[in-house]
Amino acid sequence: MKQHLTLGVGSLVLLLAGLPGGSVAQQAATTHHRYLFSAAFTVDGIKNLQKQSATAFKAGVAKFFESAGGKLESWYFDYGTNTAYGFVDYPDEIAAATAQATVNAGGFAHVTYRPVLSAEDADKALAKSVAIRPPQQQ
């Protein structure tokens, strides 16, 4: 079924931030950190995109993430701002930082990562937050 992407970034996070399938034992044994990324393309980055298809570029992005230890979950292009958005899983923060530095050093885009939580992990964080006093009350 075709869908049109008219969601804001916050809605995308809520819609797409669930963990991939697999058994509970597999998920417990392997820790993954999910990130929402945005890649704002430079002029040279847009020129590079014009030389290849979007699907070929997406495949290259997936291969790049894999080389850094990650797995691309989704990728969308916002033609209004020349920015790509998506979700990627990394085994740890070092892998995410490595990928970010590599892309930014390449000069075709400026990428940023935002860690996101599943609804279940957000519930855990919110449950803990009621037991901790805010800084102004310490």
Which pLDDT belongs to residue 13? 34
State yes or no: pLDDT of 64 exceeds 60.
yes
Domain assignment present for 13: no
Backbone φ and ψ of 28, nearest 5°: -70, -35
State yes or no: pLDDT of 21 exceeds 50.
no
Is the overall model pTM greater than 0.85, yes or no?
no
Domain assignment present for 72: yes
Per-residue pLDDT tens over the stretch 106-121: 999 999 999 999 999 9
CATH number for the domain harbouring residue 122: 3.30.70.330
* CB-based contact 52:59 (threshold 8 Å): no
**Domain around 129:** 30-137
Cβ within 8 Å of residue 16, ≥6 positions away: 73, 74, 87
Q: How confident is the model at residue 5 (pLDDT cuts 50, 70, 90)?
A: very low
Domain assignment present for 56: yes
Domain assignment present for 3: no
**Count of domains in the chain?**
1
Q: Region 81-93: what's the mean pLDDT?
A: 95
Which pLDDT belongs to residue 109? 95
